[in-house]
Structure 1
Amino acid sequence: MKQKEELKDSTVVFALSASKGLAQEICDILDLPLGKCDVHHFADGEILVELGESVRGKDVFFVQSTNRPVNDNLMELLIGIDACMRASARSINCVIPYFGYARQDRKAKPRQPISSKLIATMLERAGANRVITMDLHAAQIQGYFDIPADDLNTLPLIAEYLKNKDGLNLEDIVVVSPDHGGTVRARRLADRLGAPVAIIDKRRPKPNVAVAMNLLGEVDGKVAVVIDDMVDTAGTLTSGINMLYEKGAKQVIAACAHGVLSGPAIDRLKSANLAEFIVTNTIDQAENKAKYEEMTVLSVAPLAAAAIEAIEENESLSTALNAAVSYTDQK
């Protein structure tokens, strides 16, 4: 294993605009100083990323989610990669906790782009050597890269939180998928909690609009835990919450990896009678947390730090991530 001093000499972690807090948490766990990097946004919309220290011969890790403003955050990452490539970095690794454009993963109808493939190509062409993502909206996106791409799963963090939550009896839980597409995710969480699964049958008349139609499974007298990969406008979620209460759920908890929370999302969550909304900090939630007290934010920093350390030490990524979840549980 690399000693801490050796890790410091060979590894640099840079924070870009979207993920400064998360990057600092990762560095604290790794006992590394946060890399010196300045990001400038000019009046005409152009972006400049300036590295404040040498990266020659070093392994660079950029931490940057590509959430709103998606294109600015993506350009920061691309320009940062180019800066490191031209400064002779040994390797350039992108930690992208939330991967923007992931919902454009296929041609849903004629003449549509596959934008997530385009983003993968842009990152590679810019000079990225590896990508680390978390809970990709569509698993096939991992295959859009011709460089190593590791997709980390935040479900273990959510499961451990629920297992150790005061006043929550695991025997009362039913894990609910908000649609048929999320059934595998719900089953994985249910297996960790030893709980049954229910599925909301819905239709989506247009993007960002969904209507819950029916419920497959029983939630009467139970605590329903709705699990999804992301919550955007919260329209799908709140529609499902109303149905769960109508079907007899005594309490509803919602959980997701990515709290996109666009437009009316926070107001909808406030009025949805949720017992708790659990989200991770793949997207910074400081502003939303101040508005919505029932939000619990779990940090993915231990997962990202474990991945970086495993990569640097050429160790098993799965073993490192399992240890990271145990570490998080102890905190």
Structure 2
Amino acid sequence: MPRTSEPKLISGNANMPLAKAIARRMSLHRGVNVGLVEARVERFNDGEIFVEVFDNVRGEDMFIIQSTSNPANDNLMELLIMADALRRSSAARVTAVLPYFGYARQDRRTKARTPITAKMVANMLVGTGIERVLTMDLHAAQIQGFFDIPVDNLYASPVFALDIKDHFKDQMSDLMIVSPDVGGVARARELAKRINSPLAIVDKRREKPGEVAEMTVIGDVTGKTCLIVDDICDTAGTLCKAAEVLLENGAKEVHSYISHGVMSGPAVERVTNSVMKSLVITDSIQPTPEVKNAANIRIVPTAPVFAQAILNIWNGTSVSSLFEADTLGPIYDGMYTP
């Protein structure tokens, strides 16, 4: 099939600012204008979603940029319907770019008669003709195995490492990376290795979802600047409680680095009133005005790394090269001092 010389991007309504930022970065890299394919994604009066693609996409390598964040069901349906529209329009390949993969926390059966919704969503994506998935910091790495298509899982930790080395360059020897639970130790250890810092763990015992009964710090945090590392901040209850426990155990101050700022319910208020000095999140989920205006919340852009990953997929070159600081540093040139 005939094909133009550039990848084509299309976006739903989940995170249009990020999609436009990715297009701008790709335009910068390519030296030509890489815009979003013109389309309309609307809802009928009864809530049904309708998609119409205005540009010709026959034979094109298409990338749909759409986080399945709140409202998760609407954004997921937008993604599925856009994929179907592109496949029926004879696109050569359809890649789903999901900066945030919703339903990832339902990745296993935690008790009898419960679903594995992450697997069901994977089946739905593959069933609509999506041939590749690009995402960031899956809640559980094994979710990649739920798909029968290639899945490229980017990591926020190399970007966070650049940010930490820039903002904490005068106190690197005092830093302590902290995992807020045992399940996140691998993620925290990865960042700790990148900045050559020790690791501590906050062991939590949960009576029921949304409530934390008890927390214990494993490791000596006395006099340390603690950086809590996790993939999702939802209502921020666990995060704020962990910060309090760390200070009670002698930490000098507490900051947090979270990949996906879901920030639902009372999260912004809790973070604003918490003992944390700062919460750093990415823009994988479009931040609300409340998040943007919060004094102690800072947003790190992901457009540079996603733009380069899309170009690497389109060119057939390595995506894993973006896991290394030497490769990632130039992509974020001008944003962080060496």
Give the TM-score band, short-chain normalised.
over 0.9
**Cα distance between partner residues in 2 of 1:320 and 1:189:** 15
SS of 2:164's partner is helix
Matched, 1:180 2:147: no
What's the offset of the Cα at 1:37?
Answer: 1.5
Using the size of structure 2 for normalisation, the TM-score is 0.93
**Cα distance between partner residues in 1 of 2:128 and 2:51:** 14
**Cα distance between partner residues in 1 of 2:120 and 2:131:** 16
Query: What is the match of residue 116 of structure 2?
Result: 114
- Answer whether contact 2:240 2:275 (CA < 8 A) is retained: no
What's the offset of the Cα at 1:289?
Answer: 3.0
Query: What is the match of residue 106 of structure 2?
Result: 104
Number of aligned positions between the proteins: 326
Matched, 1:14 2:10: yes
Aligned mate of 1:30, from 26, 48, 55: 26
- Give the 3 Å change call, closer, same or farther, for CA 221–321 of structure 1 in structure 2: closer
What's the offset of the Cα at 1:83?
Answer: 0.2
- Answer whether contact 1:212 1:236 (CA < 8 A) is retained: no
**Cα distance between partner residues in 1 of 2:213 and 2:302:** 31
- Answer whether contact 1:58 1:91 (CA < 8 A) is retained: yes
Task: Single out whichever of 289-298 and 157-166 deviates more from structure 2.
Answer: 289-298
Query: What is the match of residue 46 of structure 1?
Result: 48
**Cα distance between partner residues in 2 of 1:287 and 1:7:** 40
Query: What is the match of residue 58 of structure 2?
Result: 56
- Answer whether contact 1:306 1:324 (CA < 8 A) is retained: no
Using the size of structure 1 for normalisation, the TM-score is 0.95
**Cα distance between partner residues in 2 of 1:268 and 1:312:** 42
- Answer whether contact 2:268 2:291 (CA < 8 A) is retained: no
**Cα distance between partner residues in 1 of 2:242 and 2:57:** 49
Query: What is the match of residue 143 of structure 1?
Result: 145
Matched, 1:210 2:206: no
**Cα distance between partner residues in 2 of 1:318 and 1:270:** 36
- Answer whether contact 1:303 1:325 (CA < 8 A) is retained: no
Query: What is the match of residue 3 of structure 1?
Result: none
Q: Flag structure 1 segments of 5+ consecutive residues without an equivalent.
A: 1-5
Question: CA offsets per residue over residues 107-151 of structure 1, 9 Å max, x none?
Answer: 111111110000000001011010111100011110000011111
- Answer whether contact 1:18 1:284 (CA < 8 A) is retained: yes
What's the offset of the Cα at 1:10?
Answer: 4.0
Q: Which amino acid aligns with 1:262?
A: S
- 5 Å matches for 1:162-241? 162-165=164-167, 168-241=170-243
What's the offset of the Cα at 1:167?
Answer: 6.3
Query: What is the match of residue 249 of structure 2?
Result: 247
Percent identity among equivalent residues? 42
- Give the 3 Å change call, closer, same or farther, for CA 8–255 of structure 1 in structure 2: farther
**Cα distance between partner residues in 1 of 2:75 and 2:128:** 15
Question: CA offsets per residue over residues 306-331 of structure 1, 9 Å max, x none?
Answer: 11111111111122554234321543
**Cα distance between partner residues in 1 of 2:3 and 2:59:** 13
- Answer whether contact 2:305 2:331 (CA < 8 A) is retained: no
Q: Which amino acid aligns with 1:326?
A: P
- Answer whether contact 2:272 2:295 (CA < 8 A) is retained: no
Q: Which amino acid aligns with 2:179?
A: S
- Answer whether contact 1:49 1:80 (CA < 8 A) is retained: yes
